Chain A
Amino acid sequence: MRVYLVLVYVFLYAPIALIVGGSFNAGKQAMIWQGFSLEWYGKAFSNPLITEALGTSLYIALATAAISSVLGLMAALGLERVKGWLRTFFDALIYIAIMVPGIVIGISTLIAFVSIFELVNPALTATFNIRLQMGSWAVIAAHVLFNIAVVALLVRARLQGMDRSLVEASEDLYATPFGTFRQIVLPLLAPAVLAGFLLAFTFSFEDFIIAYFVAGPDVTLPIYVFSSIRRGVTPEINAVGTVVLVTSLLLLVIAQLILQRGNQARVRADG
Chain B
Amino acid sequence: MQDYRHSRWITAALLAPAGVFFVFLLILPLVVVLVYSFGARAPAGGYEAAFTFDNYLNLPARGKAFFNTLTLAPLGTLLTAIAAFPVAYILALKTDPKWRVTLLVLIMAPFWTSQLLRYYAWIMLLGSKGIPSWLAYIGIADLRIINTPTAVLIGAVYGFLPLMVPPIYVSLEKLDKRLLEASADLGATPLRTFFQVTLPLALPGVATGSMLVFILLMGDYILPQYLGGGKVFFIGNALVDLFLQSRNWPYGAAVSVALVLIMFLTISLYMRFILSRTDKRRAALV
Contact = CB atoms under 8 A, between A and B. Distances in A.
Is chain B a partner of chain A in the same complex? yes
Interface string B244-286: 1000010011001001100110010000000000000000000
Contacts, number: 207
Interface in A42-77: 71-72, 74-75, 77
A30 B124 contact: yes
B25 A226 contact: no
Interface residues of B, number: 75
Interface string B137-162: 00000000000000000000010011
A5 B90 contact: yes
Interface stretch (A120-128, A185-193, A236-244, A261-269): A236-244
Interface string B107-142: 101111111111011101100011000000000000
A92 B47 CA distance: 30
Nearest to B131: A14
B113 A244 contact: yes
Nearest to A29: B129
Given A79-B15, A108-B33, A249 B109 contact: yes
Given A97-B22, A101-B218, A171-B1, A18 B158 contact: no
B36 interface: yes
A71 B87 contact: no
A177 to B, nearest CB: 4
Given A19-B118, A31-B130, A209-B221, A96 B26 contact: yes
B162 A104 contact: no
A177 B267 CA distance: 41
B79 interface: no
Nearest to A97: B26
A206 B263 CA distance: 23
Contacts of A16: 110, 113, 118, 121
A18, A72, A171, A252: which has the most chain B beta carbons within 10 Å? Answer: A18
A120 to B, nearest CB: 14
A118 B28 CA distance: 16
- Chain A: number of interface residues, binned into ranges: 35 or more
B56 interface: no
Contact of B18 (A9, A72, A142): A72
Interface stretch (A33-41, A144-152, A158-166): A144-152
Contacts of B236: 101, 103, 209
A12 B161 CA distance: 9
A215 interface: no
A104 B260 CA distance: 8
B118 A222 contact: no
A256 B25 contact: no
Contact of A225 (B1, B26, B114, B219): B114
B249 A75 contact: no
Interface string A86-97: 100010010011
Given A1-B90, A74-B15, A252-B112, A103 B239 contact: yes
Contacts of A177: 1, 4-5
Contacts of B5: 81, 177
Given A222-B116, A241-B114, A74 B221 contact: no
Contacts of B120: 229, 233
B198 to A, nearest CB: 14
A-B interface, 3 closest residue pairs, ranked by CB to CB distance from nearest: A101-B219, A78-B14, A108-B29
Interface of A: 1, 4-5, 8-9, 11-16, 18-19, 30-31, 71-72, 74-75, 77-79, 81-82, 86, 90, 93, 96-105, 107-113, 115, 141-142, 144-145, 148, 152, 171, 177, 202, 206, 208-209, 212-213, 221-222, 225-226, 229, 233, 237-238, 241, 244-245, 248-249, 252, 256
15 contacts: A8-B107, A9-B106, A15-B122, A30-B124, A90-B19, A90-B22, A103-B236, A112-B32, A141-B21, A142-B25, A144-B25, A229-B116, A245-B113, A249-B112, A252-B109
